[in-house]
A and B are shown apart, each in its own frame.
Chain A
């Protein structure tokens, strides 16, 4: 089976590493690395697993972002992707999920001939989980989100879609879009050979014009949603320190305090 698989990936700041300056109430961004979004790493891994089983499979990674996102795409190539495309253009800047999905779906149409599109469930910087389904809608193909188990047999794909209290088993035909969660697999590491091969490959950079989108479809002005205001949440402030000679004394002081305030 020779499959054409497209994986949508995003370069994100590692939000785990970000802290708020408690005095100035601003973000401390210095030294925070840009990484391949976690859920997207699972999306790529599932595509690469298909390639392990069916070596004829072609895996194309697709991203939208500034030129620096090439670093992340090199990482994807080093892990085993065949082809990498970056949509990068100032005209795409400020796109919300609706506009982003216009750009990505237009690029996917240009790539053409795909069987499966994998995307991470959501990106850790925006946490919207919207772009995957919106790409599927614009391509008029079925979607399954929260995929935690994947099997393919001929034209039919069988997946487990995670629910809050279990999962559902779903059958879907190619072509389709699947969004992946971390329970699906464990992403592989790059190897030396892969890194060497990746440096020999070219990353294609496409502009808005290349994918045939205009300012009514992409960018800040085209986006239906806008940021009205943004701010850092106010922290509660340091509370009362409970201290004592022994753990027992500390426990007693705390419980007495809670009891006095009728909290317990």
Chain B
């Protein structure tokens, strides 16, 4: 595929240059020319008033796509405990398989040493089966060992789709597997669709995309992987048309778990790994936990978040007091983390955690797009900021223009009065 300018139609209006997020269009004489910076994002096609820019699709197929079936989820475990994000992804895979309605099954890819007991857990959260790979050499995660056994299994059993949690392990493993299998991988997806119809519904409801171009598109095998790009300024939907498996990482907290129920007829397929000690070129000396518990922002119902407007690390003490009052947890924007006021584990946003609490209090947060990318699906957003022009107010359900240091103490003060008033 390539984006090209139809020279005869181009009037030299430069609208495309303005629209291009990647600075990939230049004028040569009176005609726009697409340069090598182009990522085929299509923004210029929509911006051109003269229909002078088009995308050429190349018809090619590099592998027999029909040989691949089922959705796999990398069931990431640490110390024998299944990660929450894996449960969420099994739930998402279960939903997608149901939409496909063509016999697609959901399998957990469970790798480790003595982890068979987690098979039932995978089943409870929606897996139809488990590919189980056990070996003492797989006790700790290593890139080499996990890549080898996972890629070998995928070559043998040919999943159509593979999902990984976008954790520090998932983001280490998935690109390595994708490179070994010469297939595509989409990072940090926030939405997945297997049907054009569900994608169209989503696009109409939540995005600025002109969905007219989706009308009449065949429902054929399309795995539409939507992710923030460009620091969250742009959303891109990625496809992997000609290679399999189609692979994506998904950030924790984005997808929904299903309510666990005992698995029925869980299929467990034991895969014997071919793994030698010399295959593993890194040695894990020790694993050190520095944060007592993983800050559980993804499960929080109420989040009280602070940004640059706090002006100092002590501000988080005030937010902590409010969070304790309302049964919530504190969080932070990148600005506050970069300033060294709070640990990165508390960061919400594009490069932090994605959250969707019932209530999100944004205190002294300007609302940079990176931050919005991590919290805009919160049910209710309350913004408190001195600057009435702060972009956070464009995304807030309730806006308070004022000093958080005078508002938040009053919220703490009044919290119980209000609760008592209603009893």
Contacts and interface: CB of A to CB of B under 8 A. Distances in A.
Interface of A: 13, 15-16, 18-20, 22, 25-27, 29, 65-66, 88-94, 96-98, 101, 124-134, 136-138, 141-146, 158, 161-173, 176, 183, 220-221, 223-243, 247-248, 250-252, 254-259, 263-264
A222 to B, nearest CB: 10
Interface residues of B, number: 123
B311 interface: no
B230 A251 contact: no
A145 B187 CA distance: 15
State the majority secondary structure of interface residues on A: mixed
B209 A127 contact: no
B2 A94 contact: yes
Interface of B: 1-2, 18-21, 23-24, 35-43, 47, 58, 60, 140, 143-144, 147, 167-169, 171-172, 174-176, 178-180, 182-188, 203, 206-209, 213-214, 222, 224, 228-243, 281-291, 293-294, 326, 344-345, 350-351, 358-359, 368-370, 372-373, 376, 379-383, 391, 393-403, 406-407, 409-411, 413-415, 417-419, 421-422
Given A18-B231, A227-B237, A236-B376, A164 B345 contact: yes
Contact of A130 (B43, B168, B185, B414): B185
B301 to A, nearest CB: 10
Nearest to B171: A129
Given A133-B179, A248-B413, A251-B411, 8 more contacts: A15-B232, A15-B233, A22-B394, A94-B2, A226-B40, A230-B235, A233-B207, A238-B399
Given A142-B282, A227-B236, A264-B359, A19 B391 contact: yes
A150 to B, nearest CB: 14
A17 B286 CA distance: 40
B57 to A, nearest CB: 9
A235 B231 contact: no
Contact of B184 (A98, A125, A254): A98
Given A231-B203, A239-B399, A225 B19 contact: no
B55 to A, nearest CB: 9
A174 B262 CA distance: 48
Contact of A250 (B143, B286, B410): B410
Contact of B369 (A19, A224, A227): A19
